[in-house]
Structure 1
Amino acid sequence: MKLCAIAVACANRCDDGGSKLPSFSHFIYFLFAPTLLYRDEYPRTKRIRWDVVVSHFLEVTAIIFYNSFLWERFILPYWSDYGKEPKVEAGTVVRGMFACVLPGVISFLCGFYCILHAWHNAFAEMLRFGDRLFYEDWWTTSRFSRYFRAWNLIVHSWLRDHIYHPLAPYTSRAVSTLIVFLVSAVAHEVVLALSFGFFYPVLMIEFGGFGLLMLPLTASSGSRYPNVFNLLMWLSFFIGNGLLWSLYSMEYFARKNCPPSETDNFFVPKSWSCPEVVLKPNWTFQNPFDIIY
């Protein structure tokens, strides 16, 4: 994305003819600066506060260790044996998914703080980068359009300037928005696929499908009933992150524990065929108020 931004800047200046191209020092600074929009000059602070830099990097380290604890405590006990047995009860899968809801949201919030606050502010302080507005108060919003804009202002600004605005004169706003969502969803999915070693587009379906659907549904209703739709948005975060933690873990351990077969490949999910999810016969429900003394 940074290479695209500086390539666009160079192309525009080559078209002008008389404009000076960015120097190599400008490129190096832009490469490490917490922004995706190239400028020859940025607002700069007067000095580097190294105590602030150290504190932010300590926060990053602490969050990495805490996420490791969440993995050891909530992922491995429920999913590390997934695929070792040929069959698994549906109730076991459902319990594992519910167990991942709360740690999934905690990991989601920790990841947000780690990258969009601690990491960016650390590099901004070291480079004396003056613009520290990396996000806005997305947690109070009741409209998904507002959430997608406020969640990550750095990426939002790049998508707006390099995709939405160039397409807007030739297409409608709805088509431009759809293309922006598709590009963002595909980019996220490519990163996950290369990291995990398999293609399993759960995140793409959640944010590129459900998230896109919620844009028009919360456009007017979110402004009319802000408290209700803010609650619904947080419920979607809980459910969505629980599914992400569960489904990606199921696929990862299914590929690791299930015996290899001829149909195994990068794109076909292994967890759909191994293990077999079965319903437990004669399910019974226990009354929680039926207390035996």
Structure 2
Amino acid sequence: MGICEGRTVIVTGAARGLGRSYALAFAAEGANVVVNDIGTSLSGEGRDTSAADAVVAEIVAAGGKAVANYDDITDWDAAKRIVAAAIDAFGGLDVVVNNAGIVRDRMFVSATPEEWDATMHVHLRGHFCVSRHAVDYWRGVQKAGGKVDARIINTTSGAGLQGSIAQAAYSTAKGGIAALTLVQAAELGRYGITANALAPAARTRMTEGAFAEKMAAVEQGFDKQDPDNIAPTVVWLGSAESAHVSGCVFELEGGRITIERGWDLGPTIEQDAKWAPAEVGVAVDALLAKRPAPRAVWGS
């Protein structure tokens, strides 16, 4: 038996890249999988249901259980149908993996409101809508006397944790998802729900264009950028074994697993009096001298 035997999982954006790897890995560990994908381009345009169907066919051919869903994660009512698809097909829901996203790369000086809004809509609203309906379902189970052992697994990014040149909107959205995860973990534990986030680095449609040389597949040896490398941690986070882990952000690449320390308090100066504006500069310079150098913004 796999570590997710009998658990039911929704994976959004599951037709390609990381989402596909997650869906296949969950199924291989015994989970029932809802493969959600509307089949858009990298920028969020167009529709194609065949890619989700192909992942379902692959899971079923290997002896697993899966259904396809083509609802839009950003639509409130459609997101409810995604949750309902899991319940209708498999009798319940245990895990939501919020993986779907788009990217509209643009230097800040050239960014448009339309690109900004589209990026926020998919990443932030998409994470909200699906998780919110899932939480409604889980709270209902608990109120009816049932046991809840549920998981929300969100997707942030190195861009959201440290910034990325030409990705102001994407970085902002992904930073917001990391903060959302902390709030979900703090609020939802009482219902038997954990919330964690991933910052995965792997070969996908998003990364192949921006980091072509780094993301190139290797002919022999360990393929560090294979998206399948990320899936084992995601599957474990979706299992019953991870019930004690919540409010964490995991950076994952190849065989490396890192837990972020987040916005911790750094060097501090305090006095029992109001600062004069002219004094602040001296204090800040002293703090900067004590602060460890931060990681550079991607692309800088």
Structure scoring higher RCO (CA < 8 A, sep ≥ 6) equals 1
Write 1 or 2 for the structure with the bigger share of strand.
Answer: 2
Structure of higher CA gyration radius:
1
The normalised TM-score by structure 1 is 0.28
The normalised TM-score by structure 2 is 0.27
Write 1 or 2 for the structure with the bigger share of helix.
Answer: 1
